[in-house]
Structure 1
Amino acid sequence: MVYQAESNRYESMKYNRCGRSGLLLPAISLGLWHNFGGVDTFENGRAMLRRAFDLGITHFDLANNYGPPAGSAEEMFGVMMQNDFAPYRDEMIISTKAGYYMWEGPYGEWGSKKYLVASLNQSLKRMKLDYVDIFYHHRPDPNTPMEETIGALDLIVRQGKALYAGISNYSAEQAAEAIKIADRLGTPIVIHQPSYSMFNRWIEDGLQDVLADNGVGSIVFSPLAQGLLSNKYLNGIPEDSRAARPSVFLQESQITPELVEKLRKLNDIASNRGQSLAQLALAWVLRGGRVTSALIGASRVSQIEDSVAALNNLEFSTEELNAIEEILKS
């Protein structure tokens, strides 16, 4: 059946301005890091992407190495673009990144101009696109001069292969340097993609100030702390959870009795607000307007629906914020 997007898709989604740019992003964006690759069921991924767009999620975030295997998430998204989303391309913000390992030899990762240009060319072919809306350098390169890396982003935008340039995983000091170089070149950095959650608050120590002072937006990944901030771990470790499988990102040893107690207390606050724990966590990272968009992952449609419903209650009382702080400090 030919896909036709819901006519009311823009009625309830909240859109935030990305820094001082003209770009508006949905408060909830969808990342294709896992569950959209070659080892996953295509129809499930398709159902999630369709439902996300029908709910007003216009921003889909990818990277050259997303899958698994690397490149397969972009390939899957390319099929979606060709078969379902082609009529809606101008309504969508599509991003990809380069920085991590993709191919053998000295030009297959990090931040050289050679790697970044070659990687984006490959990504465009996989996604069947002429351009992406945002192209990010995925991680700082300790060996390539920042001028070369940011210069490559400038070149890519001037070539029309990307509309906006972004950075990801840069510290406050690195971001400040990148922003300064980009401004001098005339292609500003409009967005930074860092990790951020109740359990991972490093961006509050300088980075958010750098972005605010320079008019740069932010889209935060892992706002649910790899799924910890959900109802999944309130009663132990489910067999189908990420913590139950070998992972470099979430270990079974992290699910301590002390952590579970914190999750239960946070869940009580969420329940009193009429929210799930995941909805509370998403609303919390969006509090105060310092974060442009929360980037979620999903393995089923219901998780996307639950995340978007977080937007129904984004306001916190002083008492709620203080109670959350006490739980997080305990």
Structure 2
Amino acid sequence: MTYLPNANRYQDMEYRRCGNSGLKLPAVSLGLWHNFGGIDSLENARNILRLAFDKGITHFDLANNYGPPAGSAEETFGHIFKDDFKSYRDELIISSKAGWGMWPGPYGDWGSKKYLVASLDQSLKRMGLDYVDIFYHHRPDPETPIEETMGALDLIVRQGKALYVGISSYSASETEKAVAVLKELGTPCLIHQPKYSMFDRWVEGGLLDVLEDKGVGCIPFSPLAQGLLTNKYLKGIPEGSRAAAHRGNGAIDEDAITEQNIAKAAKLNEIALQRGQNLAQMALSWILKDKRITSVLIGASKPEQVTDSIGCLANTSFSDEELKQINHILA
């Protein structure tokens, strides 16, 4: 059946400007890290993507190694894009990344120009695209000069294979350097994608200040601490959950599900309920309350989770008292 998107899809979504750029992103973006691989249901993936676009989510975030197996999330996306979204290409922001191990030998990992250019060519082929909107270096490479890695990102923009570039998981000082090198080359750094949640607040130790100062956007991943900040683990590890099912591969570590963390989540849940939200919605709202955040990346294993997550936008402001209580629990 031909997909016709919801005609009112832009009505209820909030769009935020990305740093000092001309680009706006939806406050909630969809990441394809899990549930879109070769081992997953294509039909379910299609239903999630359709619903997301129907709700005004215009940004789909991928990486070369998403799956499993690596590369298969981009292939899945490519199938669905061709069938459902090709005629809406200009309404979409599609991102990919390279920086983790992708193929054997010395040219399939880290941050060399050789790897980044080759990886993006492969990603474009898998997705059936001429270009991506944003291409990221996925993690800092301690051995490759930052000038080479940023030079590769600059080259990729000049080749027309990406419109914008970003970095992921760089520290505050690494970010400052990367931003400066890109600026000198004439291709600004659009955005940074760090891990950030109520349980992992490292970005507050300087990175957010650097991004604000340099006019760079921010799109956190794992805002729900891979499920810890949902009602999923309030009673321990359920059978069939990601933690029980596939250890490793970015799934939550079982040792993160401690009695202490579950107790914190339960107390946070009480505040969420007082706010008229569930725990996941409050965890997303809590990140979006900061004006330096452009968008927050959600994952979804079923369409209803997308609808539920977008519910966070109904209330992204917190009273001083609520923030005090939250900080007390997290301390």
| TM-score (normalizing by structure 2) | 0.98
1:30 corresponds to: 30
2:199 corresponds to: 199
1:254 corresponds to: 256
1:55 corresponds to: 55
2:174 corresponds to: 174
Query: Retained in 1: the 8 A contact 2:59–2:94?
Result: yes
Q: How far did 1:63 drift?
A: 0.3
In structure 1, runs of 5+ residues without a counterpart are none
Q: How far did 1:141 drift?
A: 0.8
1:322 corresponds to: 324
1:15 corresponds to: 15
Deviation readout 1:274-315 (Å, 9 max, x if unpaired): 101000000001112121110011101111110001101111
Q: Give runs of aligned pairs for residues 228-307 of structure 1, distance below 5 A.
A: 228-248=228-248, 249-307=251-309
2:186 corresponds to: 186
Q: Secondary structure at the match of 2:237?
A: coil
Q: How far did 1:257 drift?
A: 2.1
Letter in 1 for 2:187: T
Q: Give runs of aligned pairs for residues 50-199 of structure 1, distance below 5 A.
A: 50-199=50-199
Q: In the aligned structure 2, how far is the partner of 1:256 from the partner of 1:173?
A: 32
Letter in 2 for 1:172: A
Q: In the aligned structure 1, how far is the partner of 2:130 from the partner of 2:255?
A: 45
In structure 2, runs of 5+ residues without a counterpart are none
Q: In the aligned structure 2, how far is the partner of 1:270 from the partner of 1:187?
A: 41
Q: How many residues align?
A: 329
Letter in 2 for 1:137: H
The verdict on how the C-alpha distance between 1:98 and 1:306 changes in structure 2, with shifts beyond 3 A counting, is same
Q: How far did 1:246 drift?
A: 4.7
Query: Retained in 1: the 8 A contact 2:228–2:262?
Result: no
Q: In the aligned structure 2, how far is the partner of 1:161 from the partner of 1:44?
A: 29
Q: In the aligned structure 2, how far is the partner of 1:321 from the partner of 1:198?
A: 11
The percentage of aligned residue pairs carrying the same residue is 66
Q: How far did 1:237 drift?
A: 1.5
Q: Secondary structure at the match of 1:102?
A: coil
Q: In the aligned structure 1, how far is the partner of 2:97 from the partner of 2:29?
A: 15
The verdict on how the C-alpha distance between 1:299 and 1:246 changes in structure 2, with shifts beyond 3 A counting, is closer
Q: Secondary structure at the match of 1:57?
A: coil
Q: Secondary structure at the match of 1:25?
A: strand
Q: How far did 1:259 drift?
A: 1.7
Q: Secondary structure at the match of 1:29?
A: strand
Deviation readout 1:14-72 (Å, 9 max, x if unpaired): 00000000010000000001100100000000000000000000000000000000000
Q: In the aligned structure 2, how far is the partner of 1:256 from the partner of 1:118?
A: 41
Runs of 4+ displaced beyond 6 Å: none
Q: In the aligned structure 1, how far is the partner of 2:126 from the partner of 2:260?
A: 44
Deviation readout 1:65-87 (Å, 9 max, x if unpaired): 00000000000111111100011
Q: In the aligned structure 2, how far is the partner of 1:97 from the partner of 1:169?
A: 12
The verdict on how the C-alpha distance between 1:18 and 1:261 changes in structure 2, with shifts beyond 3 A counting, is same
Q: In the aligned structure 2, how far is the partner of 1:251 from the partner of 1:295?
A: 20
Letter in 2 for 1:302: E
Q: How far did 1:222 drift?
A: 0.1
Q: In the aligned structure 1, how far is the partner of 2:246 from the partner of 2:74?
A: 25
Q: In the aligned structure 2, how far is the partner of 1:201 from the partner of 1:279?
A: 18
Query: Retained in 1: the 8 A contact 2:227–2:252?
Result: no
Q: In the aligned structure 1, how far is the partner of 2:117 from the partner of 2:216?
A: 23
Q: Secondary structure at the match of 1:289?
A: coil
Deviation readout 1:190-241 (Å, 9 max, x if unpaired): 1000000000000000100110000000000000001100000112211121
The verdict on how the C-alpha distance between 1:29 and 1:183 changes in structure 2, with shifts beyond 3 A counting, is same
